[in-house]
Amino acid sequence: MTDTRLLPVLPLDSDVVLPGMVVPFDLTEAETRAAVESAQAKPQGPTVPGIRTAPKAEVLIVPRVDGEYAEMGTVATVERIGRVPGGKAVVVLRGAQRAHVGATGDGPGAARWVHAETATELPAGEHGKQLAGEYKAVVLSVLQQRGVWQMLDAVQELEDPSALADLAGNAPYLDLAQKLELLRTLDVTTRLEKALEWTREHLAELEVTDTIRKDVAEGMEKQQKEFLLRRQLEAIRKELGELDGSGEEDDYRARVESAELPEHVRKAALAEVDKLERTSDQSPEGGWIRTWLDTVLEMPWNTTTEDSYDIAGARAVLDTDHAGLDDVKERIIEYLAVRKRRVDAGAVVGGRRSGAVLALAGPPGVGKTSLGESIAKAMGRKFVRVALGGIRDEAEIRGHRRTYVGALPGRVVRAIKEAGSMNPVVLLDEIDKVGADYRGDPTAALLEVLDPEQNHTFRDHYLEVELDLSDVVFLATANALETIPGPLLDRMELVTLDGYTEHEKVTIGRDHLLPRELERAGLAEGDVTLTDAALSRIAAEYTREAGVRAANRTIAKVLRKITTKVALGEAELPVTVDAAELETYLGRPRHLPESSLPVSTQRTSIPGVATGLAVTGAGGDVLYVEASLSDKETGGTGLSLTGQLGDVMKESAQIALSYLRSRGAELELPVGDLAERGIHVHVPAGAVPKDGPSAGVTMTTALASLLSGRVVRADVAMTGEVSLTGRVLPIGGVKQKLLAAHRAGMKTVIIPQRNEPDLDDVPAEVLAELDVHPVASVREVLDLALAPAATPVTQAA
C-alpha cells in the first residue's frame, strides 16, 4: 500500500542521498534553511499516547541534474540541528525511504512543497541474498583497503539486502549518475548487481594502485637505504684509511662519472663499480676489479693528436732522418696527402678505415725500425714500438682473461695507453719472428688488428669492450716474408727495402752514423773527420751487407782507436781519416771483389765453378756453385749434391744435368762419358741451408764449364731458373741480387729476360756500374759467362 505525503523539497545538485544515509547539510544555504524551516512549520499530527517525543520533521531530498528535478527522491528526517566547532549552523538528515516526486502543493514557509508517494521496492529472493553476502564481503575489503576501520562493525551488523545495496550511496568512487541510477532502481537484486559490479571494479583499481604504491615505496626505500649505506661505507673507508695511514681511497664511481668515456665503456665501468662496492675488502676479486678500472680510466678514449698536413715539411723530415728508401717515403706522403684532401673537402677524419697498415720488409740494418719514429714525427703523431720477436702466446696480442692471476691487456692496448692517444704510429717490430705453440698462434690474433675492415671493433680479452683501432697507423717490420702467414701478409701493404747502394752508405755514414758515434765517444763535432773515400772503402772492403750496422760498428771502432791514441798522447785532435789510413785503425780489408784478386786465387780460376746470386734474410748475396767429375776407375755414377740444398735446388741440379745430356751435341760439350763417371755438385757455406730455383742457370753454367774445360769469367754473376728445354725462367728479388753483385764487385750480371721490368726498381748508380744482360736461353748464358777456351784466363776489363 502506497503512502502519499506533502513534503518540502530540499534540492541537491552534486550528490544523491539514499535511504539509510546520514548526511549533514549547511544551514547557511538558502534552499536548505527554507526546506528545514518549512518542515518544522508544518502542523504535526496528534502525539501518540505514551510517547513524549513529537514526530520528527521530514523533507524530500530530490537530486537536481542540469536544473531539472529527478522523478525520484528520498524522504529524510531532521535528526539534529546545531553548530559545528567552527560556529557554522548545520542540520543532520537521515534518509528513510524512496518516494516518487508528485504534483506541487501548498505549505508554509519559503520552500517548494510536493506530494511524495512512497515507492514500493521489489524484495530480494535467494539470489539477491547471495548477492548481498558477496557485496558485503567486497565492501568490507574496500573498507580495509582504505583503512576505514570505524565502519567495519556497522557493516558487519547489516543483514537487510536493500540496506546493504544502499550503502553504495556513501561510496566516494561512484559518480552522480551511478548513484542516481541506484536511487531509481526499485528491484533490490538488480541494485545489488550494479553496486557489486562497480565496487569490484573499484577494488581491482585499489589493488593495482596499492601494488604500484608499494613498488614505488620499496624502490624509494631501497634507494634511500642504498644512499645511506654508501655514505656510511665511504665514512668507514675514510676512517680506516686514516687509521692505516694510506689516505683517502679513490672513489671509482666519481672517477668513472667524471671521466670522458664512450657510452658503452661507461656502462661497463659502472657495472664493475657496482660489483666493487658489493665486494668484500678481503675478496681478491676487489683487486682485480680495481686494476681493470684503473686500466680503463687510463686509456685515452677521446684523446687524439692532430695530424701535420705540411706535406713538404713531412717529406723534408723523412729525407733528413733517412737516406734512400724512396718507396716507403712516397707511401707515407701519399697517406698524408689523401688525409689533407679529405679535411679540405670537409670529410670526417679519424673514422673507420682511415688508418694504414704497412709492412716494411728487408734485410737487417736498413733502418726499418728507426723509420717508424721518423714517420710519426713527420705526421705529428705519438710513436710506440711493440717488439714481437719470440712471442708465442696469443694472449700477448689479445690480452688475458681477467680470471687469471696477473692478467694484463694485450700489447696493442698497452701500446695505445703508453702513447696516450687513439691514433699513434704503432711499430710491430720483427713480425716474422712470431712463433706458435700450444698457447695459440699470435699471428692469427693479429689478423683482426691489422685489418682496416675489422679493427674498428677490436675487442681485447682483458678489457672486453670495443676499441677502435681504425685510425692507428700500423707499421710491421720483417726480414723474411716466407715466415709470415699468407692471410696476415694479405692485410698489409708491402713495401720492400732492398738495401743501400755504396753511395747511399757514404751519405748515411757522413750525415748520421759519424755524428752519433762522435757523441758516444765523447768527441765534439769536427774532432774526427772521415772522408767520403774512407767511408766508401769501409762500405766496399771492410763490410759487405745490405744495411749499415756493420759500417756503424766499424766507424765506432775507428773513433775508439783515435780516442785511445789521443789519451796516450800519440795523436792530437782534430784528426782526418782518409781511405789509405784505414788500415792503421782497422787492419787489412776483409772483403775484396773476386775480380780484383790475382788469377791464381780467384774461385772461378778453374773450370766447374760459377757465381750465382741469391736472396737471404740478410739481403742479397753471391753464391758459388762448384762441380766436379769422378774418375772412371774410382768414382761411381750418378749425381751427388752437397751443401744443405733444399728439394727445389736439388731438382734444379737434376734439370741442369738432364738438359746438358740431351743438348750436349748442340752445345759442343763432351757428354758421352757422363754415364760412366759420377758428377758432384757442391754449394759452399755448407752449414747454411739453401733452396730455390734461381740457381738453375748457375748450376748449368758450372756443369758446362766443367765439361768444356772453359772457366767462368770472374766478374760475371747470374740468376735464373732453367727448364728442361733450356729456357731461362723469371725469378724474384732482382733488385736485392743486383745490389749484392754490385757490392761484390761484379761487372756483368745475367738475368732472365722476363725480369727486365724489375730493373726499373734498381738505383741508377748501380745500373751505371753493371752490365746487365737479360737472356732467354741457356746458350746465351754460356756465350756470356764462359771464357774462350784458347784464351788464357785474365781479369775482365
pLDDT in tens, 129-179: 888 788 788 888 877 777 666 677 777 777 788 888 888 888 888 888 888
Which three cell numbers mark 169?
Answer: 550511496
105-114, 189-198, 238-247: lowest mean pLDDT where?
238-247
Is the pLDDT reported for residue 51 higher than 50?
no
191-200, 409-418, 522-531, 755-764: lowest mean pLDDT where?
191-200
Which three cell numbers mark 190?
Answer: 538488480
Average pLDDT over residues 609-638: 79
Instruction: Provide the pLDDT for residue 577.
Output: 92
**Beta strand extents in 245-401 (DSSP E only):** 356-361, 383-387
- The CA distance from 768 to 414, in Å, is 49
Q: For 88-97, how does the pLDDT look when each residue is reduced to its tens digit (9 = 90+)?
A: 888 889 888 8
681 annotated to a ligand binding site: no
Q: How confident is the model at residue 352 (pLDDT cuts 50, 70, 90)?
A: low
Chain centre distance of CA 162: 76
By the 8 A CB rule, do 612 and 761 touch?
no
Instruction: Provide the pLDDT for residue 757.
Output: 92
24 annotated to a ligand binding site: no
By the 8 A CB rule, do 521 and 585 touch?
no
363 annotated to a ligand binding site: yes
435 annotated to a ligand binding site: no
- The CA distance from 9 to 62, in Å, is 7
Q: For 226-260, how does the pLDDT look when each residue is reduced to its tens digit (9 = 90+)?
A: 777 777 776 776 676 555 544 434 578 888 888 88
Which three cell numbers mark 49?
Answer: 499516547
**Beta strand extents in 319-367 (DSSP E only):** 356-361
Instruction: Provide the pLDDT for residue 249.
Output: 44
Which distant-in-sequence residues (6+ apart) come within 8 Å of 524 by Cβ? 518
251-255, 439-443, 616-620, 768-772: lowest mean pLDDT where?
616-620
Top-confidence range, 100-114, 411-425, 597-611, 679-693: 411-425
What Cα–Cα distance (Å) separates residue 562 from each residue in 185, 516, 527, 736, 788? Answer: 128, 16, 10, 35, 50
Provide the angle, in degrees to the nearest 10, between the axes of the packed helices 126-146 and 188-244: 20
Instruction: Provide the pLDDT for residue 414.
Output: 92
pTM beyond 0.85 = no
- Checking 316-320 for CB contacts under 8 A at 24+ apart, the result is 317/374, 317/377, 317/378, 318/374, 318/375, 318/378
CA angle at 249 for the pair 255 and 253, rounded to the nearest 5°: 25
Which three cell numbers mark 450?
Answer: 691489422
Q: Which residues pair with 626 in a beta bridge?
A: 609, 682
318-327, 508-517, 564-573, 605-614: lowest mean pLDDT where?
318-327
Of 165 and 575, the one with more pLDDT: 575
367 annotated to a ligand binding site: yes
Active site residue 737: yes
Best CA proximity match to 456, nearest among 443, 445, 466, 441? 466
List the end-to-end C-alpha distance of the chain, in Å, as a whole number.
Answer: 154
Q: Which of 42, 382, 737, 747 is catalytic?
A: 737
- The CA distance from 703 to 697, in Å, is 10
Instruction: Provide the pLDDT for residue 693.
Output: 87
194 annotated to a ligand binding site: no
Q: How confident is the model at residue 729 (pLDDT cuts 50, 70, 90)?
A: very high
369 annotated to a ligand binding site: yes
368 annotated to a ligand binding site: yes
What Cα–Cα distance (Å) separates residue 504 from each residue in 589, 593, 672? Answer: 20, 19, 51
Q: Which of 595, 694, 705, 708 is catalytic?
A: 694
- The CA distance from 481 to 493, in Å, is 12
Instruction: Provide the pLDDT for residue 242.
Output: 54
Is the pLDDT reported for residue 626 higher than 70?
yes
- The CA distance from 267 to 295, in Å, is 15
Instruction: Provide the pLDDT for residue 347.
Output: 54
Q: Return the residue matching grid coordinates 734498381.
A: 762
Instruction: Provide the pLDDT for residue 291.
Output: 87
The three-state DSSP-derived secondary structure of 717-744 is EECCEECCCCEEECCCCHHHHHHHHHHC
Average pLDDT over residues 611-634: 80
- Using DSSP's 3-state secondary structure scheme, residue 173 falls into coil
